[in-house]
Amino acid sequence: MISAITGRGKLRFHFYRGNMTQEKFQNFLMHIMKRTERKVFAVSDNLTAHIGLDLKEWAGKNAGKIELFYLPYYSPHLNLAEYLNNNLKYEIVRKGYAKTKKEIENNAMNIMRSIGAKKTRVASFFDNDDVKYTKLADN
């Protein structure tokens, strides 16, 4: 899953199969850019797909619409997406065991839709001291 979160509680996510690639990441960012008139400030970890040369070249060409920021290596506590992932994992466990792959996929999608529908819950991810720095980008 790839996700984007704003301090106003908006959540965008996409489930994908296989490994994350520069192309998948770029497509997700383009999707986000199309749905806002504001400049996108994307904070990302250092996954190879997030830091590749093709992506950096694309971001440079679109500098007026998007700016990429990278977290220090080995710092999941600074990654806002980890708070969302933990919420998803908690809700999956709370829901109980799924018996099929399709049931797991449906549960995850329904949970993410439910989380996304609760803007105050999504916005609360920014309340943790380690990720408050990200809230400034949404003002």
C-alpha to C-alpha distance for 41 and 103, rounded to whole angstroms: 34
Share of the chain above pLDDT 70, in %: 96
Query: Quick one: pLDDT at residue 138?
Result: 46
Domains of the chain are 2-133 (3.30.420.10)
Q: What is the pTM of this model?
A: 0.85
C-alpha to C-alpha distance for 27 and 60, rounded to whole angstroms: 15
Query: Quick one: pLDDT at residue 135?
Result: 67
CA-nearest of 139, 131, 136 to 86 is: 131
- Mean residue pLDDT of the chain comes to 89
- 5-53 pLDDT, tens digit each: 987 889 999 999 999 999 999 999 999 999 988 899 999 998 888 988 8
Query: Quick one: pLDDT at residue 139?
Result: 45
When pLDDT is averaged across residues 119-130 and rounded to a whole number, the result is 88
For residues 72 and 139, the model is more confident at 72
DSSP codes joined into one string, 75-110: -GGG-HHHHHHHHHHHHHHHH---SSHHHHHHHHHH
Share of the chain above pLDDT 90, in %: 56
The values of phi and psi at residue 117, to 5°, are -75, -15
C-alpha to C-alpha distance for 32 and 101, rounded to whole angstroms: 28
Q: Examine the pLDDT at 58 and tell me if it is beyond 90.
A: yes
